[in-house]
Structure 1
Amino acid sequence: MCDLFPQDMLEKNLVSLKKQRDSVKHRLKKLAARQSEITKKSTAIKENVVRKYQEIQTVLEEDLRITLSHLEMEERAAVSALDGLMERNCVLIQELERDLARLSLTLEQSDAEPDTMSLFSHCELDNKETADRVLDVLNQLDPSSVSLDEAKANQILSLTNSMLHLVCSQTPIMKKLLKSYSSEVHLDPETAHPKLIISPKSDSVSYTDTCQNLPDQPGRFDITLNVISMQGFSFGRHYWEIDVTGKTYWELGVTYPSFPRKGTSEDCWLGRGDGSWCVEFFDGEYTAWHGGVPHQLPFTKHFCRIGILCSFPAGLVTFIEADNMMPLFSFCAGTFSECLHLALCPGHDHSGTNSGPIVICNASSPTSDL
């Protein structure tokens, strides 16, 4: 086979580079189209969710309007009945006032008239009739005879309370969804720093001031107080909740198995290198870390449970306050190059305030990838 002339080689390379460029351009167009498609789908999903919430709100507002209208009708009926009774009382008072005036006039006249016996007899008869009428009115106009339907009111309150419990049981909606992604994990004792104690069930880790006599496994952290999970995940969506109640210092996150474990390099700290993502709590402040870049978080409350969501389809790592499902911080990580392991750091004793364990709140059973 004859050798190609330099000119021919250059032309061949030129053609090859053009093909490669065209391939990359074509892929770039596909990526841009996919990006546009995802944006449109996400917008449509959010709009549908908003509409459903608005429909729920409309149904509740209409039901509230109907319920209040029934209560108001009953209130108007009771008030109207009491108005009628009060009017009868007012009429009776006017009649009594007239009788009092007439009796006062009669008394004045009795001083001037000698024949008073017939007059007193007549007055006594009138007084008895008035007393009977007053007694009759008082018996008929007992205020307690008019009342609201308390049985119905109690039933309405019971039904609305049941509705409230039902709504509360379904919200936050994300709690049920994320729980469906729960994946059981166990801590790997062979990766734990010698000053970390792993529970017998491998579901919690705590710090001890005494360095344990443990074999120096290649995967064991020797400086940073870290431990990672035995299980790694490379596809699907996974969610874990970590109990940090009473802790004053901790770090939680996910990491590649290639995460450095030996020496004092900053890369051995969670979130300081490109192979891990974490949220740190120290001295009342929360900080999210990745690639050595800190993100100060605007929270001061001591949270009890932290959720970690890892979504391979979305290239997402999200940290959540698990009780209310409030997002704390999200890393848009893109495409993960390795499988991911849960990583925990319970922190040092922190002047005696940080002795409690970090506990993984494992699901009752592993959940398949969705």
Structure 2
Amino acid sequence: MSAATHLLSEEHFLCSICLDVFIAPVTIPCGHNFCKSCITENWRINRKCQCAVCKRPFDIRPELHVNTFISEIAAQYRQSAVKKASEDAKPGEVLCDVCTGIKLKALKSCLVCLASYCQTHLERHQMTPGLKGHKLVGPLDNLEDRICTNHDELMDRFCKTDQMCVCQFCTETDHESHDVVPLKEECDGKKTELEKTGAEFQQMIHERQLKVQELRQSVQLSKEAAHKEMANGVQVFTTLTQLVQTGLTELIEQVKRKQKTTAKQADDSIKELNQEISELRKRYAEVKQLERSDDHLHLLQMFSSLNASLLAKDQTKIILHQPSYEGTVARAVAQLKETLSRGTEKLLEAELRRVQQYAVDVTLDPDTAHPKLIVSDDGKQVNHGDVERNLPYNPQRFSCCVVVLGKQSLSSGRFYYEVEVKGKTKWDLGVVSASASRRGEITSCPETGFWTLQLRNGHEYVALADPDVLLSVKSRPQTVGMFVDYEEGLVSFYDAEAAGILYSFTGCSFTDKLYPFFSPCFNDGGDNSAPLRISGVYNKNY
């Protein structure tokens, strides 16, 4: 039966009245087939008993019986149509409004009839003269939303004044004086805007794809840097462990050597004493034998030789000197400390070399300088001039504190620069937040946006950390290195020549731009007249 359905076209299974697949088909005397309910209703409405196709009249109303053969074929076709519809119609697609039972996918929507049609039910619009003039468009859902609620007419215009869709009658009433254009014209303009918006979205997508790639590369670089740092750490601490183990081994060997030497001395003395004991026992036996002798002549002759043999060594002079272990551990620790100190110096030098890779060219910003400060023309040095100059007001200028900032700022990443402080007895160096106060007296600490280090009285180095931290410095730095890692929240000060670290602010939370901070302090009658000078570290090859 299913094979037969494939040999027949779709039109063989459609009722000429409802244009749908037969339901309870009947055959009338002229040979045409209809749904039983369709032909019955047709005769009732028209009050004529005639064929709906060929118009043949029947004097006597035919008795209608379901054609089982056609019914079975129609059922087969209906199942095939259901399967095809389930395959063709996808979720969200517009369905035919005329189909009963299983609805097929709509191919067109009529803006006049406000209905959507599948291929079969669209034929009436393509063949009937009165329907050919209707406006057919691609399948649309919710056609009722396109009808003006005030006039029950299709909204085919757009009011640019009120930014809304309207019908023809709306333009003659509420929107009579408004700027109204056809929907297509407005859509064309909106499509142009959409193209521009789409291009912007595409550009944004491209930018974000690049950012994703950049972040992935950053993660990879961070991963490689972390592995390198861990490898360096393992190497360093392995070396330190080996040094400690070597020091311990040498300490143990030294103690063992002392103990072995003492034991040998004792063994030699014991051996010698045992030999004397053996000789003395021999002489003792001779003495006892001579005591028992009745030969007076022999006794007297042997007596003097026995006395002579008694001249043995004085055993009281045999003394075993105990080795002194006092200070052995302390000396070993001191030697290890010296070795570690040399290793630490090399590590610090390597660390300084590493941060110097982020060296930048820093110049002073005269617009921020206190009126008593003199900034060189090249922006590389500053000193106190004693006399306050009459400068125009500038909100960026420090009004009370003798401070000047660098022009360069940092809001991400890392930077490093060096400042020569030779010949000075006082200075302040560091970084400051862009939003930190520059007017009036200033309390320098991280809470107010200042991360600074200062020298006072020529030898007191203090980190202004609130509370202040007095630093222990072996030698006076002649050049101070400044390193900042924005993301890590790190501000470090280095003795650039001794390759030693002076102090680090750690765990800082930066939310603003950071600027280099310089204060040469007061001249103090010429004792502190030397300038602060930014060195050209960025020109060196590290």
Could you say whether these structures have the same fold, taking a TM-score greater than 0.5 normalized by the shorter chain as the test? yes
After superposition, what is the alpha-carbon deviation per residue over 1:198-228, rounded to whole angstroms, capped at 9, x for unaligned?
69996344596xx624343769826253323
Distance (whole Å) between structure 1 residues aligned to residue 534 and residue 375 of structure 2:
15
Q: 1:253 aligns with which of 428, 431, 437?
A: 431
Contact (CA 8 Å) 2:380, 2:533: kept in 1 or not? Answer: no
Deviation at 1:91, TM superposition (A): 2.9
Structure 2 match to 1:239: 417
2:388 partner amino acid: Q
Q: 2:369 aligns with which of 183, 186, 192?
A: 192
Structure 2 match to 1:90: 270
**Which deviates the most, 57-66 or 39-48?**
57-66
Deviation at 1:320, TM superposition (A): 0.8
Q: 1:45 aligns with which of 222, 225, 233?
A: 225
Structure 2 match to 1:126: 309
TM-score, normalised on structure 1? 0.57
Residues 167-316 of structure 1 aligned to structure 2 (within 5 Å): 168-179=345-356, 181-182=358-359, 187=364, 191-196=368-373, 203-206=381-384, 212-216=388-392, 221=397, 223-225=399-401, 226-229=403-406, 232=408, 237-241=415-419, 252-253=430-431, 278-280=450-452, 286=464, 300-302=469-471, 307-309=481-483
Contact (CA 8 Å) 2:266, 2:320: kept in 1 or not? Answer: no
1:17 partner amino acid: T
Contact (CA 8 Å) 2:415, 2:483: kept in 1 or not? Answer: yes
Deviation at 1:368, TM superposition (A): 6.4
**Which deviates the most, 25-34 or 238-247?**
238-247
Distance change (3 Å), C-alpha of 1:237 and 1:281:
closer
2:307 partner amino acid: E
Deviation at 1:89, TM superposition (A): 1.1
Distance (whole Å) between structure 2 residues aligned to residue 309 and residue 344 of structure 1:
14
Establish whether residue 363 from structure 1 lines up as the match of residue 535 from structure 2: yes
| Secondary structure at the counterpart of residue 470 of structure 2 | coil
Distance (whole Å) between structure 1 residues aligned to residue 344 and residue 335 of structure 2:
14
Deviation at 1:42, TM superposition (A): 1.1
Higher RCO (C-alpha under 8 Å, 6+ residues apart): 1
Structure 1 match to 2:188: 8
Deviation at 1:264, TM superposition (A): 5.0
Contact (CA 8 Å) 1:182, 1:363: kept in 2 or not? Answer: no
After superposition, what is the alpha-carbon deviation per residue over 1:342-367, rounded to whole angstroms, capped at 9, x for unaligned?
34356799xx9xx9689646436651
1:171 partner amino acid: L
Contact (CA 8 Å) 2:520, 2:531: kept in 1 or not? Answer: no
Distance change (3 Å), C-alpha of 1:368 and 1:58:
closer
**Which deviates the most, 8-17 or 218-227?**
218-227
Contact (CA 8 Å) 1:204, 1:357: kept in 2 or not? Answer: no
Residues 123-162 of structure 1 aligned to structure 2 (within 5 Å): 123-128=306-311, 130-131=312-313
Distance change (3 Å), C-alpha of 1:359 and 1:180:
farther
| Secondary structure at the counterpart of residue 5 of structure 1 | helix
What runs of 5+ residues in structure 2 fail to find an aligned partner? 1-180, 322-333, 455-461
Distance (whole Å) between structure 1 residues aligned to residue 335 and residue 439 of structure 2:
62
Distance (whole Å) between structure 1 residues aligned to residue 450 and residue 391 of structure 2:
27
What runs of 5+ residues in structure 1 fail to find an aligned partner? 144-156, 288-296
Distance (whole Å) between structure 2 residues aligned to residue 81 and residue 264 of structure 1:
77
Deviation at 1:315, TM superposition (A): 8.0
1:363 partner amino acid: S
Q: 1:17 aligns with which of 197, 202, 220?
A: 197
Distance (whole Å) between structure 2 residues aligned to residue 169 and residue 285 of structure 1:
25
For these two proteins, the number of residue pairs brought into alignment is 320
Distance change (3 Å), C-alpha of 1:142 and 1:363:
farther
Contact (CA 8 Å) 1:198, 1:206: kept in 2 or not? Answer: no
Contact (CA 8 Å) 1:178, 1:239: kept in 2 or not? Answer: no
Distance (whole Å) between structure 1 residues aligned to residue 273 and residue 420 of structure 2:
75
TM-score, normalised on structure 2? 0.42
Distance change (3 Å), C-alpha of 1:331 and 1:39:
farther
Structure 2 match to 1:150: none
1:308 partner amino acid: M
Contact (CA 8 Å) 2:414, 2:483: kept in 1 or not? Answer: no
Deviation at 1:121, TM superposition (A): 1.9
1:43 partner amino acid: K
| Secondary structure at the counterpart of residue 194 of structure 1 | coil
After superposition, what is the alpha-carbon deviation per residue over 1:297-355, rounded to whole angstroms, capped at 9, x for unaligned?
786235887643368xx888852132444541466679x8xxx9634356799xx9xx9
Deviation at 1:24, TM superposition (A): 1.7
Distance (whole Å) between structure 1 residues aligned to residue 445 and residue 202 of structure 2:
38
1:8 partner amino acid: D
Aligned-residue identity in percent: 11
